[in-house]
């Protein structure tokens, strides 16, 4: 079946379009979107493929999909915006404005520790089922009582889902608004983009279902990791099944670490705020210096959950000697389970985003080959 790529792009980006088509024609992708901004302008905005394995429903311009942990970049941006306004001190102990949080040795944990996965709270010692994931207050109550799994600030261990609840409560305590509401009112709505943390019913017709790989082990976030290992402990509570992403309760819930729905255009244009020195679509969202807070390195070393080198700043992974993602020093990024990606280069003032509905990349290995092919096309385009 011929792949019909829709959108707009300059002819110099032809290698990107070819790579996009090849991903779909080869069966690596089902449906996807890809977007690039440069100096605040959208220079590539493409979509194509299908919403279903039968290839009966085409991916549309306004199609959105659950991007899992790419949502974390939106939560981090919300906190950076508050920090730039002076409403949130990233180094202030969380207990100062969330008193209940100061149980079991967490008195010194600050928002910076949560943003960098060094808070020691990547999972819970009690079992959490699917229904409880939709109860923000209950999860926060459990996190407030939880004892850190290591001395906060000394190590990183990817807070796969707990980070979102923690940042959500930080934002709520500081603003009186949920993180999803704050993000929508302060960032997504002013930009006029389709990205939601807590997707409303009127957007349901745009949502593409996610399709996990055939291997049953890939349905679960941590797969078959032994329960006694750190990844196994994180993946046990909460134990996330990718099939939940196709349900209405998941879509409605505000899960700031993994429940966001959007497309590549939205992801790229939102992060243009960071790449373009606080500006996007002619609006100033933060000071010129505000985005540089990202590069306040909080941890560099082996991550206890990934079990490989990591370099974390304020809410993003950073380019580094052992975590190379480009030639420039001021590159930050993160991606989501299944393959989605947000990559921001503040030196070249570019953003790149990829969003898809065929899950393949586990998010714990090297870069998804589909993204690598698209980035190769970017390099070929110059």
For 155-164, how does the pLDDT look when each residue is reduced to its tens digit (9 = 90+)? 999 999 999 9
Task: Kindly state the DSSP code that residue 18 receives in the 8-state scheme.
Answer: H
State the pLDDT at residue 238: 76
**Per-residue confidence at 363, pLDDT binned at 50, 70, 90?**
low
Percent of the chain with pLDDT over 70: 95
Average pLDDT, the chain: 94
Percent with pLDDT over 90 in the chain = 85
> What domains does the chain contain, in order, with CATH numbers?
6-381 (3.40.710.10)
Q: Does the pLDDT of residue 39 top 50, yes or no? A: yes
| Known catalytic membership, residue 340 | no
d(CA 284, CA 351): 17
pLDDT tops 60 at residue 365: no
- The residues, any chain, with a CB within 8 Å of residue 39's CB and separated by 6 or more, are 276, 349
For the purposes of burial, counting CB atoms within 10 Å of the CB of 248, is it exposed (0-12), middle (13-18) or buried (19 or more)?
Answer: exposed
| Residue 235, pLDDT above cutoff 90 | no
Query: How high is the pLDDT of residue 198?
Result: 98
Query: Which residue from 79, 29, 16, 19 is spatially nearest to 350, judged by alpha carbons?
Result: 16
Strand partners of residue 220: 241
The predicted structure's pLDDT at residue 298: 98
pLDDT at 222 > cutoff 80: no
Give me the catalytic one of 26, 33, 69, 287.
Answer: 69
Q: Which of 285, 338, 344, 337 is nearest to 314 (CA)?
A: 344
Q: Is the pLDDT of residue 91 over 90?
A: yes
pLDDT in tens, 240-253: 889 999 999 999 99
Model confidence at 352: pLDDT above 90: yes
**For 103-150, how does the pLDDT look when each residue is reduced to its tens digit (9 = 90+)?**
999 999 999 999 999 999 999 999 888 999 999 999 999 999 999 999
Which band of pLDDT confidence, cut at 50, 70 and 90, is reported for residue 370?
very high
Residue, of 138 and 217, whose pLDDT is higher = 138
Asked if the model's pLDDT at residue 364 lies above 60, the reply is: no
Please state, in angstroms and rounded to a whole number, the distance separating the CA atoms of residues 353 and 341: 5
Is the pLDDT score of 86 beyond 60? yes
Whether the per-residue pLDDT at 316 is higher than 60: the answer is yes
């Amino acid at each position: 079946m011929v792949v019909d790529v829709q959108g707009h792009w300059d002819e110099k980006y032809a290698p990107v379009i070819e790579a996009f088509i090849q991903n779909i024609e080869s069966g690596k992708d089902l449906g996807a979107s890809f977007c690039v901004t440069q100096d605040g302008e959208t220079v590539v905005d493409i979509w194509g493929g299908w919403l279903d394995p039968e290839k009966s429903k085409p991916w549309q311009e306004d199609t959105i999909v659950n991007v899992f942990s790419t949502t974390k970049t939106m939560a981090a941006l919300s906190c950076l915006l508050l920090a730039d306004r002076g409403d949130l001190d990233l180094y202030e102990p969380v207990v100062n404005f969330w008193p209940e949080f100061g149980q079991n040795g967490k008195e010194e944990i600050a928002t910076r520790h949560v943003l960098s996965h060094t808070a020691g709270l990547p999972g819970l010692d009690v079992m959490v089922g699917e229904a409880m994931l939709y109860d923000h207050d209950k999860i926060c109550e459990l996190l407030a009582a939880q004892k850190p799994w290591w001395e906060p600030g000394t190590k990183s261990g990817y807070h796969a889902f707990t980070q979102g609840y923690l940042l959500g409560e930080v934002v709520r305590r500081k603003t009186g608004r949920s993180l999803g509401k704050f993000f929508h009112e302060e960032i997504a709505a002013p930009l006029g983009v389709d990205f939601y943390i807590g997707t409303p019913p009127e957007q349901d017709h745009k949502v593409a279902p996610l399709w996990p790989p055939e291997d049953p082990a890939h349905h679960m976030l941590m797969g078959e990791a032994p329960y006694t290992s750190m990844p196994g402990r994180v993946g046990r509570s909460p134990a996330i099944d990718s099939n939940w992403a196709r349900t209405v309760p998941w879509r409605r819930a505000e899960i700031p670490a993994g429940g966001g729905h959007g497309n590549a255009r939205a992801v790229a244009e939102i992060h243009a705020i960071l790449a373009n020195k606080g500006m996007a679509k002619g609006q100033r969202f933060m000071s010129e210096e505000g985005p540089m807070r990202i590069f306040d390195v909080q941890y560099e070393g082996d991550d206890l959950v990934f079990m490989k080198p990591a370099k974390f700043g304020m809410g993003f992974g950073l380019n580094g000697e052992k975590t190379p993602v480009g030639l420039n020093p001021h590159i930050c990024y993160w991606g989501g389970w299944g393959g989605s990606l947000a990559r921001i280069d503040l030196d070249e003032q570019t953003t790149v985003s990829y969003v898809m509905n065929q899950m393949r990349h586990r998010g714990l290995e090297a870069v998804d080959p589909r993204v690598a092919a698209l980035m190769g096309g970017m390099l070929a385009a110059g």
